[in-house]
């Protein structure tokens, strides 16, 4: 069975070579039957990789410890749920998962999204074939998940205990799926450039893919943060470590791309910039995959140890050179169809949003790579840790939030002083009043106050959009308020879904500000009966409690939580000991509320019954997850198919408003 | 213009480099600028849950109680563990690049963007007479449909 999986990879490799060659030749010689056969190769590839993946899952589930991957990442006691999730727990498996997502996406894209692309079609097939080719080649020749051990081992090494958590089961595949899906708009962009068909057809054809990639990446990043908070157990959710940064980079450029394509769709401008952005996003997604799985950033020296490094870098360089080379050759064709009417317009606010997002990505990339660069240049090892990113990212975050609020208030084409004043007066006044209240309530740190003011501004502006829209509907149709609101969103999911994402971002930032500026942490070693004070909370230690089940041994600390003297429940943080792991796993106890989380870590316990505890009060952390959920909900609404009739109905008022303004 | 950019830039740099002023440092503040030497991935001492971090936090507490300032404590750690222990690179020499580069890049890009926008806005209106600038050819049908609908609505 495992051998079959490997042979399927080889067949897959041939199929990708065929898709690439047939696409190129079909385009060059104008032979549609070749292009059709290239398409079929991509559809077949999806089937072949699905079967190959099934072979890996079957090896995992049947505990075939003759396969190195199975022996390294599972053991015979592992529950079935986690055994299956080991598919993406290691390097080879996660690359297979990447390739699978890409191949299935490619198959759907060539089946359903090629209509209207005309001469670009063969080259889109070829580029999809090319990207698939790279990943299948890596699997078949360098990171084979089906590699056999010299001899079957009696039992496997088991899954890292930290990964035995539902959040961790879904976080990696969502992240990988997000990375892989960005390859589809990239391939379409390459096809468009190669064929000189450079209107908005490729953007329209891949709009849903881009959104799907963004949704998946966002969900993956959020689940990763939640996993860090609830399982890793250090009291935070984002440590700015290289792997986290690697997932943020394509997210930032992808977000910029999502916004700037709107300008091309509406006005035929920014064609070059959009091609640059999708190339960057794809390159960063591949870079992220590579970083996640190689650990090169530990040191420059670990890089040479793996043959994957040179392969990935060669691929990144080749696609980068090809894409930017094509862009250079086509620069004459990429002239804007329209001119900008005023510097102060919504178009330019989109561009500044792009600027901030890309600059932030550049800052994060600089910080992530700097230890390597510095070691190379000065020979000295240095660290670039969270304080660096917090300081550097804060001004960008502030600018981004401010733009999120300002953008919907500026008219398309040209903002006049009058509509500027009309639109800004009330939201700004309300924000100033709200900020004053926050200051009076004790938010004294300037940066925290600034960020919260920006969040407030975004929420007010976004709220107003819904209120105004619903009111206009009610006036015209006489619907009830709730119906008007629902129909407003249903008739224009792109616009209002987008606003929900913006509101979600602001809510998420409220959580980030609360938890990072106002966290309280207390360390103490307590004997049974003793207590400690953290903020307004008292934690009473009632003693240790051992427990044992088939997979692990555990020690729990029994705690009582009091808030200003009133009993608020019990907490049981623990340390777990797994037979196959020399590192104990901590499991934190969290009491969550919209105001603040009480977060308790059992750091150590003593034979005499004492416990060393770390108790934190994390204000507003709840809103990070709420805001994240809102962002995903908004994206889902944007993804919702809009009826053709509704498209017309919603686009008119905007144009009319613009013309009237 | 250039002077304005220089001013914004120096303000930004000053804001970033400003040490946390105000009340004397807490253990959390001192520990949050140190990377845990335990080998955990880039984790700061104030957050790391390993035994080493707990020990270092206790040590920082003792040192603060003995009257040392945050800077003195960081210097002491720097001597013992090397530059790698500090969570942020020093703002001098080659390491200044990591602090300056992001802002320099953003401001340069911002300046370029403003220039480009001005140039675009100044472009002649030559083709505007034939068709209004907001319509994209593909949208013509859509637009007609929309206007039709609008008319019906207003009636």
What mean pLDDT do residues A102-115 have? 95
Q: Which of A340, A382, A384 sits opposite B120 (nearest CB)?
A: A340
Q: Which of B46, B103, B109 sits opposite A355 (nearest CB)?
A: B109
Alpha carbon distance A268, A200 (integer Å): 8
What mean pLDDT do residues B26-31 have? 88
pLDDT tens digits, residue range A158-179? 887 777 878 778 888 999 999 9
Residue B32, min C-alpha distance to chain A (Å)? 7
- Burial tier of A434 (Cβ tally within 10 Å: 0-12, 13-18, 19+): middle
pLDDT at B130: 43
Count of Cβ atoms closer than 10 Å to residue A343 Cβ: 16
A292 pLDDT band (50/70/90 cuts)? Answer: confident
- Burial tier of A644 (Cβ tally within 10 Å: 0-12, 13-18, 19+): exposed
pLDDT at A1: 74
What mean pLDDT do residues A122-136 have? 97
pLDDT at A580: 72
Would you call B88 helix, strand, or coil by DSSP? coil
Assess whether pLDDT exceeds 90 at residue B121: no
Alpha carbon distance A104, B42 (integer Å): 36
> Between these two residues, A465 and A656, which has the higher pLDDT value?
A465
Report the mean per-residue pLDDT for chain A: 90
Q: Are A49 and A12 in contact (CB under 8 A)?
A: yes
Token code pair at residue A125: 């097939």
Q: In what order do the strands lie in the sheet with A611-619?
A: A520-526, A611-619, A596-605, A589-591
Q: What's A110-123 look like in SS3?
A: HHHCCCCCHHHHHH
pLDDT at A648: 44
Spell out which residues of chain A touch residue B155, defining contact as CB-CB under 8 Å.
none
> Between these two residues, A366 and A156, which has the higher pLDDT value?
A366
pLDDT tens digits, residue range A608-633? 999 999 999 999 999 999 999 999 99
Alpha carbon distance A310, A137 (integer Å): 13
B24 pLDDT band (50/70/90 cuts)? Answer: low
Query: Which of A323, A322, A291, A321 shows the shortest CA–CA distance to A309?
Result: A291
pLDDT at B128: 45
Query: Which of B69, B37, B65 shows the shortest CA–CA distance to B53?
Result: B37
Whether residue A339 and residue B48 make contact (CB cut-off 8 A), yes or no, is: no
Counting one residue from A and one from B, how many pairs have CB atoms under 8 Å apart? 179
pLDDT tens digits, residue range A551-577? 789 999 999 999 998 999 999 999 999
How many C-alpha atoms does A250 have within 13 Å on its Cβ side?
35
Alpha carbon distance A618, B11 (integer Å): 31
What mean pLDDT do residues A307-311 have? 80
Q: Are A455 and A514 in contact (CB under 8 A)?
A: no
Q: How far apart are the first and last CA of chain A?
A: 68
Alpha carbon distance A443, A273 (integer Å): 40
* Helical H segments across A182-307, by residue range: 183-195, 201-227, 242-267, 271-294
Q: What is the dihedral of CA A99, A105, A107, A111, to 10 degrees?
A: -170
Q: Which of B32, B49, B110 sits opposite A233 (nearest CB)?
A: B49
What mean pLDDT do residues A493-508 have? 96
Residues 401 through 420 of chain A touching chain B, CB cutoff 8 Å: 412-413
What are the b/e assignments for A257-268, b being 16+ CB within 10 Å? bbbbbbbbbbbb
Q: Which of B28, B103, B117 sits opposite A348 (nearest CB)?
A: B117
Query: Which of B109, B105, B125, B127 shows the shortest CA–CA distance to B117?
Result: B109
Query: Which of A381, A385, A432, A378 shows the shortest CA–CA distance to A405?
Result: A432
A137 pLDDT band (50/70/90 cuts)? Answer: very high
- Domain locations in chain A as residue ranges: 389-516+623-660, 520-619
pLDDT at B14: 56
B2-88 domain in CATH 3.80.10? no
Q: Is A384 on the interface with B (CB under 8 A)?
A: yes
Residues 330 through 369 of chain A touching chain B, CB cutoff 8 Å: 336-343, 348, 351-352, 355-356, 358-359, 362-363, 366-367
- Burial tier of A560 (Cβ tally within 10 Å: 0-12, 13-18, 19+): middle
Least confident of A159-173, A185-199, A349-363, A643-657: A643-657
Residues 48 through 107 of chain B touching chain A, CB cutoff 8 Å: 48-49, 51, 54, 57-58, 82-89, 93-95, 97-99, 101-103, 105-106
Beta-carbon contacts of A616 under 8 Å, excluding residues fewer than 6 positions away, are: A235, A519, A520, A521, A522, A534, A597, A598, A599, A600, A601
Query: Which of A660, A343, A655 shows the shortest CA–CA distance to B135?
Result: A655
Token code pair at residue A326: 């094509």
pLDDT at B40: 67
B5 pLDDT band (50/70/90 cuts)? Answer: low
Assess whether pLDDT exceeds 50 at residue A274: yes
* Helical H segments across A441-595, by residue range: 446-477, 481-491, 493-517
A202 pLDDT band (50/70/90 cuts)? Answer: very high
Q: Which of A265, A359, A658 sits opposite B134 (nearest CB)?
A: A658
């Amino acid at each position: 069975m495992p051998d079959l999986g490997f042979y399927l990879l080889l067949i897959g490799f041939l199929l990708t070579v065929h898709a690439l060659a047939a696409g190129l030749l079909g385009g060059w010689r104008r032979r549609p039957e070749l292009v059709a056969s290239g398409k079929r190769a991509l559809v077949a590839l999806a089937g072949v990789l699905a079967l190959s993946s099934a072979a890996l899952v079957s090896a995992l589930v049947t505990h075939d410890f003759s396969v190195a991957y199975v022996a390294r990442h599972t053991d015979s006691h592992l529950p079935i749920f986690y055994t299956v999730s080991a598919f993406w727990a290691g390097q080879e498996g996660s690359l297979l998962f990447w390739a699978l997502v890409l191949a299935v996406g490619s198959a759907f894209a060539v089946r359903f999204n090629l209509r209207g692309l005309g001469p670009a079609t063969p080259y889109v097939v070829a580029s999809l074939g090319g990207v698939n080719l790279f990943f299948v080649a890596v699997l078949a020749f360098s990171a084979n998940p089906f590699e056999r051990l010299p001899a079957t081992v009696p039992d496997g090494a088991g899954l890292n205990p930290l990964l035995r958590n539902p959040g961790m089961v879904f976080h990696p595949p969502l992240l990988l799926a997000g990375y892989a899906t960005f390859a589809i708009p990239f391939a379409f962009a390459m096809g468009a450039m190669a064929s000189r068909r450079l209107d908005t057809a490729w953007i329209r054809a891949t709009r849903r893919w881009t959104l799907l990639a963004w949704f998946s990446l966002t969900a993956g990043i959020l689940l990763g943060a939640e996993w860090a908070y609830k399982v890793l157990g250090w009291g935070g959710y984002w440590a700015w470590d290289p792997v986290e940064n690697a997932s943020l980079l394509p997210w930032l450029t992808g977000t910029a791309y999502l916004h700037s394509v709107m300008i091309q769709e509406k006005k035929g401008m920014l064609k070059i910039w959009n091609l640059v952005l999708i190339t960057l996003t794809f390159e960063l997604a591949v870079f992220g995959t590579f970083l996640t799985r190689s650990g090169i950033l530990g040191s420059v020296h670990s890089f040479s140890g793996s043959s994957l490094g040179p392969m990935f870098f060669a691929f990144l360089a080749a696609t980068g050179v090809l894409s930017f080379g094509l862009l250079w050759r086509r620069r004459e064709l990429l002239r804007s169809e329209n001119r900008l009417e005023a510097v102060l317009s919504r178009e330019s606010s989109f561009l500044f949003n792009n600027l901030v997002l890309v600059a932030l990505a550049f800052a994060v990339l600089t910080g992530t790579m700097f230890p390597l660069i510095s070691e190379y240049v000065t020979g000295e090892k240095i660290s670039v840790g969270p304080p660096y990113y917090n300081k550097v990212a804060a001004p960008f975050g502030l600018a981004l939030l401010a733009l999120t609020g300002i953008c919907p208030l500026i008219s398309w084409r040209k903002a006049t002083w009058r509509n500027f004043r009309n639109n800004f007066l009330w939201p700004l006044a309300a924000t100033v009043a709200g900020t004053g209240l926050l200051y009076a309530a004790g938010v004294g740190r300037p940066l925290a106050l600034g960020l919260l003011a920006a969040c407030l501004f975004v929420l007010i502006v976004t709220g107003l959009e819904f209120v105004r829209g619903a009111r206009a509907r009610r006036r015209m149709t006489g619907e009830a308020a709730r119906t008007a609101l629902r129909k407003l969103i249903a008739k224009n999911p792109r616009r209002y879904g987008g606003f929900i994402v913006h509101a979600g971002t602001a809510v998420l930032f409220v959580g980030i500000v609360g938890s990072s500026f106002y966290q309280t942490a207390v360390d103490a070693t307590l004997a049974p009966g003793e207590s400690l004070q953290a903020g307004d909370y008292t934690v009473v230690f009632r003693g240790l409690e051992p427990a044992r089940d088939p997979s692990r041994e555990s020690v729990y600390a029994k705690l009582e939580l009091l808030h200003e003297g009133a009993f608020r429940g019990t907490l049981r943080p623990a340390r777990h000991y797994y037979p196959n792991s020399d590192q104990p796993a901590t499991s934190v106890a969290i009491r969550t509320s919209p105001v603040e989380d009480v977060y308790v870590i059992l750091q150590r316990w003593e034979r005499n019954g004492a416990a060393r505890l770390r108790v934190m009060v994390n204000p507003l952390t709840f809103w990070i997850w709420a805001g994240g959920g809102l962002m995903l909900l908004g994206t889902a609404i944007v993804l919702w198919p809009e009826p053709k009739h509704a498209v017309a109905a919603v686009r008119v008022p905007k144009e009319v408003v613009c013309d009237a303004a | 213009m250039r002077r304005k950019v220089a001013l914004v830039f120096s303000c930004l740099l000053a804001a970033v480099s400003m040490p946390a002023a105000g009340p004397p440092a807490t253990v959390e503040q001192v520990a949050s600028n140190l990377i845990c030497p335990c080998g955990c991935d880039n984790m700061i001492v104030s957050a790391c849950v390993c035994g080493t971090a707990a020990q270092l936090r206790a040590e920082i507490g003792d040192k603060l109680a003995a009257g040392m300032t945050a800077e003195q404590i960081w210097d002491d750690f720097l001597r013992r563990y090397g530059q790698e222990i500090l969570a942020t690179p020093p703002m001098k020499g080659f390491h200044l690049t990591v602090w300056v580069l992001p802002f320099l890049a953003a401001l340069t890009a911002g300046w370029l963007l403003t220039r480009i926008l001005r140039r675009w806005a100044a472009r002649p209106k030559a083709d505007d007479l034939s068709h209004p600038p907001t319509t994209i050819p593909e949208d013509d049908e859509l637009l007609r449909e929309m206007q039709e609908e609008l008319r019906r609505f207003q009636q």
